[in-house]
């Protein structure tokens, strides 16, 4: 009986965390911060002024948007978490356009294009090849690196920031207030509460050749 009760408690706790939007949004903010930190600008040599780790930046950004979409989806329909088939389907995919549709977020043509390219970066940012050669042919340039078509710089930087703000508005309309670029926190020191103000500061948008910048990550 106690074992059953404990299992039920764990299931209840799992469902509570899964359907609490800030659980997902907190992870999204961490991923946006990590994406920003991953970009490193070359300071000398032939790649001076270009970014390294661009494919990793795109991948982490894709994961962040995925978490934001899932926060919206689970907030809209909390019964998903108790339906194994629907939950497994939600948790197993990275198709951002599909997640946007499920989250009931209407996207412009430009936003859909961005989401498609970010979805492609999910494997391009961490693996040299996808699951099969047909995806390799369609998604990579043959060198094991995300092709230039996946990143459109510098416009992608602004587009990503604008889309995150759009999702924040979507969340506010649902009653979920958030600032996904806010990393501020408080702690106690000697009985006094101390606040630390910190925000994610996007990199300057002055990349001139994303193909060369990504090759610099090798």
Token readout for 75 is 């907030």
pLDDT at 209: 44
| Gyration radius (Cα) of the chain, Å | 20
pLDDT at 207: 41
pLDDT at 135: 64
Contact 110, 156 (CB under 8 A): no
Comparing CA positions, the residue from 216, 208, 176, 164 lying closest to residue 60 is 164
**Rounded alpha-carbon distances, angstroms, from residue 121 to 115, 130, 159, 178:** 10, 11, 16, 26
For residues 193-203, one letter each, b for 16 or more C-beta atoms within 10 angstroms of the residue's C-beta and e for the rest, the string is eeeeeeebeee
Residues of the chain with pLDDT under 70: 1-5, 135-149, 202-218
Contact 2, 8 (CB under 8 A): no
Q: How many CA atoms lie within 13 A of 160 on its CB side?
A: 28
pLDDT at 215: 43
Calculate ∠ Cα 159-169-25, nearest 5°: 85
Measured in degrees and rounded to the nearest 5, phi and psi for residue 67 equal -65, -40
pLDDT at 48: 82
For residues 133-149, one letter each, b for 16 or more C-beta atoms within 10 angstroms of the residue's C-beta and e for the rest, the string is eeebeebbeeeebbbbe
pLDDT at 212: 42
**What is the residue whose two structure tokens read 């500061």?**
201
Comparing CA positions, the residue from 195, 173, 169, 191 lying closest to residue 183 is 195
Token readout for 205 is 């948008």
DSSP annotation of 78 reads G
pLDDT at 137: 64
Measured in degrees and rounded to the nearest 5, phi and psi for residue 63 equal -65, -40
Residue 43: burial class (beta carbons within 10 Å; 0-12, 13-18, 19+): exposed
Residue 129, domain extent: 2-215
Structural domains of the chain, count: 1
């Amino acid at each position: 009986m106690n074992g059953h009760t404990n299992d039920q408690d764990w299931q209840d706790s799992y469902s509570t965390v899964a359907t609490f939007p800030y659980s997902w949004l907190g992870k999204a903010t961490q991923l946006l911060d990590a994406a920003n930190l991953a970009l490193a600008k070359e300071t000398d040599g032939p790649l001076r002024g270009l970014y390294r780790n661009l494919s990793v930046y795109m991948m982490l950004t894709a994961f962040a948007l995925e978490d934001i979409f899932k926060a919206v989806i689970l907030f809209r329909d909390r019964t998903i978490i108790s339906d194994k088939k629907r939950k497994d389907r939600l948790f197993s995919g990275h198709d951002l356009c599909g997640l946007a549709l499920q989250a009931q977020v209407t996207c412009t043509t430009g936003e859909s294009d961005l989401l498609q390219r970010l979805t492609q970066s999910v494997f391009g940012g961490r693996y040299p090849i996808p699951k099969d050669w047909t995806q390799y042919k369609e998604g990579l340039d043959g060198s094991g690196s995300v092709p230039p078509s996946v990143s459109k710089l510098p416009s992608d930087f602004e587009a990503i920031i604008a889309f995150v703000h759009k999702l924040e508005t979507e969340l506010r309309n649902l009653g979920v207030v958030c600032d996904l670029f806010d990393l501020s926190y408080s702690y106690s020191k000697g009985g006094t509460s101390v606040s630390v103000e910190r925000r994610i500061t996007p990199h300057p948008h002055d990349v001139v050749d994303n193909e060369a910048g990504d090759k610099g990550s090798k």
